[in-house]
Structures are given as C-alpha cells and as structure tokens.
Structure 1
Amino acid sequence: MPQPDRGTIVVLNGPNLNLLGRRQPDIYGHTTLADVEDQCRDHARAHGFALDARQSNHEGTLIDWIHEIRLTCAGLIINPGGLTHTSVALRDAVVTVAAPVLEVHISNIHSREDFRHHSYISGIASGVIAGLGTHGYLAAIDHLARAVPRA
C-alpha cells in the first residue's frame, strides 16, 4: 500500500560524484551515481517521500539549488564531496535550510588524509553519516522518515 505524500527529500551530490563507480572504486565502490539515485528514489517512495536527486561539479550551482529548495523540502541529504572541506559559501547556504539536513560521505573521511577531517557542514547538519558506503544515503532517508512528521 503506497504511503501518503510526505513531501520531497532532496539529495545533492557535489564535485566528482558523477564519476562514482569509476573513480577510485577501492575507496568509493563500483555503484554508480545513477544506481544510488534509483535506490534512494525507491527507498524514499517506500517511506512516502518523493525524491529530487541532483549532482554538480560547480559550487555556485549547488548553492543555487539549496536556495531553491531551502523552504520547501522535507529534508536535505548532501554529499558535498571535496567542498566539504573548503566551502564556507556552501555552509552559509546549507544553514538556511528549514528542514533537517544530513551530511553523507561514502568513505570514512576521518580515517583518510588530515585535510578531510574538517567539515564546514558537520557543525550545522542534523546528523553526519560517513563510512557506510552508498548505504549511507539509505540510512539518511530512514532517519528522515523518523524525523519528519507524517502529513
């Protein structure tokens, strides 16, 4: 039985995540971004949400998208990629989102190079998921399903 509409979860992926499954598969695995988006869409639908998944290699595009959805989404799942560690501007956009925000990283950024240990997003996110592979996106959807009130 389909769930009632609970709104839209937005999944934003930053630079280089378009190469998921082909770039450093020893770290990020063989699952493609299209596969992740399909899995997330099915998982969100099972919880009564629509899913809007987007990826850009451009910081300004990600910021524009955040401005677009900041007051209307049920939740934001963001994997900022390398911008995690460098972008105050992205952080300043994310802080304006009225809904819960979950930061997701496929690898455990805390067990990698020192520069990856700092995130500009973590301190303003509702939660952080790192190191669960692409399953982290599904765990984020599960969390939002519990955190977002039923319509």
Structure 2
Amino acid sequence: MSKPIYVLSGPNLNLLGVREPQIYGKETLDDVRKACERRAETLGRTIEFRQSNHEGVLIDWVQEARTAASALVINPAGYGHTSIALLDALKTLEVPVVECHLSNPAARETFRRHTYVSLAATGVVSGFGVASYELAVEAAARLSA
C-alpha cells in the first residue's frame, strides 16, 4: 500500500463551524476529515489528518512527511501569511505539496493575499469551502500516483 497523504490544518481550524461561519461555513473540522477520508478512499488512498494551533508542531509534522507521506495537503491558516519557518520546512519536501484554503484569500483583506506557503506549493486550491480540502486531496493523489 502507498504512503498516506498528509492533510495538515493550522491554527483556529479546530473552531470550524463556530468561527465566522459566514466565511468558513458551518461544517466542523471532523466533517472536513470525513470528507477527505471519503475522497481518498475513492482514489484508493489513505490520509493522515491532523490539526494544530502551534507552529512548531506543524513544522514537526511537515518534517515527518518527508519520509512518511506520498504527498502533503496543508491549510496553513494564519501561518501562511507569517511563517517563514513553515516555508523552510515545506521546501525540504520532495513530495507534492497542495496548499488549501476554505475561503478565497485573494478576495479578502490585503494581508491575506500573500502566503509564504505558496512559494513551496505545487498548487493551490481555495474558495470552495470543505470541497477545497477534497479537491486538494484529489490533486495530491494524482500528483503522487
């Protein structure tokens, strides 16, 4: 069996469904996990789904993905706009990296229009709510086939 696709979510995504539902939707992070698992299963793949509010933990998981993952999907949340350390960790990966956002950062505040993560990403999926994660998992699976 192939290595799993790592699906990592950054800060405040544990509050999905209650935090700004007009922007992020009413689905919970558990709903996102289930959707990703279903999409991966249809593609004959598995996922390793994790969330942390801590930058260092996310970096540890990215480093782990270097040898344990077939691809990486990451919603860096606020760290996408601030974390050069996360960028540096992502740049060590030799597997596909798909950046994912529930909302469309380009249509929001100016400071959200740039992410450091994009500099290391193979591609970006954004603006489709929970479907952004599903599409990112599909892209990661196809890129790592």
Instruction: Decide: shared fold, TM above 0.5.
Output: yes
Offset, 1:7: 2.1
Q: Which amino acid aligns with 1:146?
A: R
Determine helix, strand or coil for the equivalent of 2:67.
coil
CA RMSD for the aligned pairs? 1.0
Residue 68 (1) aligns with residue 96 (2): no
Offset, 1:69: 1.5
Offset, 1:146: 2.0
> Which residues of structure 1 form unaligned runs of 5+?
none
Q: Which amino acid aligns with 2:98?
A: L
**Which has the larger Rg?**
1
Give the whole-Å Cα distance in 2 for the aligned partners of 1:18 and 1:142.
22
Offset, 1:97: 1.4
Correspondence for 1:80: 76
2:126/2:132 contact within 8 Å kept:
yes
Correspondence for 1:17: 13
Q: Which amino acid aligns with 1:144?
A: A
1:11/1:76 contact within 8 Å kept:
yes
Give the whole-Å Cα distance in 2 for the aligned partners of 1:145 and 1:98.
15
Correspondence for 1:148: 144
1:71/1:98 contact within 8 Å kept:
no
> Which residues of structure 2 form unaligned runs of 5+?
none
Aligned residues: 145
Offset, 1:72: 2.5
For residues 7-57 of structure 1, the C-alpha deviation after alignment (integer angstroms, 9 at most, x for no partner) is 200000000000011100000000100010011012112211111000000
TM-score, normalised relative to structure 2: 0.96
- Of 42, 46, 49, which residue of structure 2 is paired with 1:46? 42
TM-score, normalised relative to structure 1: 0.92
Give the whole-Å Cα distance in 1 for the aligned partners of 2:3 and 2:60.
20
Give the whole-Å Cα distance in 2 for the aligned partners of 1:32 and 1:76.
21
Give the whole-Å Cα distance in 2 for the aligned partners of 1:44 and 1:25.
26
Correspondence for 1:108: 104
